[in-house]
Amino acid sequence: MLAIAATLAIFVYMRSATVPVSGYVVTARFVGVDGLKTGSEVWISGIAIGRVIGTTIDPTTYDAIVRFTVEESVKLPADTTARIAGSGITGNYVLELQPGHEKAMIAAGGEIPLPQTQAPVNIIDLLGRSIFGSVQAPLPNQSERDRTQRRAE
């Protein structure tokens, strides 16, 4: 058991050592970034091309903002999309980019807007919904007749 843990630790260390931290900085706006951390890898087609360098919240819109680096040699079209996904058995999350087809490119300091991002899927929430159904709480000041009518639909 200890040998397996040591092998996994070495693998994770070796893999993380190959990911560049330098490059130009881009931000992306998300509804939520559960599981994504500073230091998480940024991928295109499963290849690490950068790292997450910070997360924060926009105090006006409450969007989660992710700052990350991209290798200088990789140029991102303006319609690039971003999603947060699990990277496999390690349980780590990565920022996956899907380059678009626009000729205009995202400049250093540019942003991937909220409509072009996808927050991580919460597996526990999905399991709960599949087991218990999508239960909706009654709205405040909703009459008993309205709640009964909703159940009948």
Beta strands in 19-142 (DSSP E): 24-30, 41-44, 47-57, 64-70, 81-86, 93-98, 111-112, 117-118
Question: What band does 144 get if pLDDT is binned at 50, 70 and 90?
Answer: very low
Q: How far is Cα 49 from Cα 70, in angstroms, rounded to an integer?
A: 6
Q: What is the pLDDT of residue 149?
A: 47
* Residue pLDDT, tens place only, 88-120: 777 789 999 999 999 999 999 999 999 999 988
Give the pTM: 0.69
Task: Decide if 46 contacts 15 (C-beta within 8 A).
Answer: no
Q: Is the pLDDT of residue 83 over 70?
A: yes
What pLDDT is stored for residue 91 in this prediction? 75
Give me the pLDDT at residue 21, please: 66
**């360098």: which residue's tokens?**
53
Between 29 and 153, the more confident residue is 29
CB atoms within 10 A of CB 110: 17
